[in-house]
C-alpha cells in the first residue's frame, strides 16, 4: 500500500531524521520525498510504501500523528488514493 506522509511546522534540526527513523521502525520505505522551508516554516511530503508494515492504516495514521505531537510537528499519513482525491481540482 502506498501512502502520503505530510509534515509541517516550525523548522528545526532533525525533523527529517526523526520522521525517517519512525518510518523505518514501522518497516515503511520512503519512495519519494520533497521538502521546503518558507521563512521559519518547514513542509515535507513523502510518498511511502507501507506494504510491509504490520499495523493497519487507521492505527498507523494515529501513531504517525502521535509521533508528530512528540516532535512538535503536524504529521499526517493518508492512503495515496485519498491524498490524490483531496488534491485534485
For the cut 70, the answer to whether the pLDDT of residue 85 exceeds it is no
Supply the pLDDT for residue 82.
64
Task: Please give, one letter per residue, the 3-state secondary structure of the chain.
Answer: CEEEEEEEEECCCCHHHHHHHHHHHCCCEEEEEEEEEECCEEEEEEEEECCCCCCCHHHHHHHHHHHHHHHCCEEEEEEHHHHHHHCCC
CATH number of domain containing 34 = 3.30.70.260
pTM for the whole thing? 0.87
Its domain, for residue 28, covers 2-86
pLDDT, tens digit, 9 for 90 and up, residues 43-82: 999 999 999 999 999 999 999 999 999 999 999 999 756 6
Q: How much is the mean pLDDT over the chain?
A: 92
Supply the pLDDT for residue 79.
75
What's the total number of domains in the chain? 1
Amino acid at each position: 500500500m502506498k501512502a502520503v506522509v505530510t509534515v509541517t511546522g516550525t523548522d528545526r534540526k532533525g525533523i527529517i531524521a526523526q520522521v525517517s527513523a519512525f518510518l523505518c521502525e514501522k518497516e515503511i520505505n520512503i519512495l519519494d520525498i520533497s521538502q521546503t522551508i518558507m521563512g521559519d516554516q518547514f513542509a515535507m511530503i513523502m510518498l511511502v510504501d507501507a506494504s510491509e508494515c504490520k499495523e493497519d492504516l487507521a492505527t498507523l495514521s494515529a501513531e504517525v500523528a502521535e509521533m508528530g505531537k512528540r516532535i512538535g510537528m503536524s504529521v499526517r499519513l493518508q492512503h495515496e488514493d485519498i491524498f490524490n482525491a483531496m488534491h485534485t481540482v
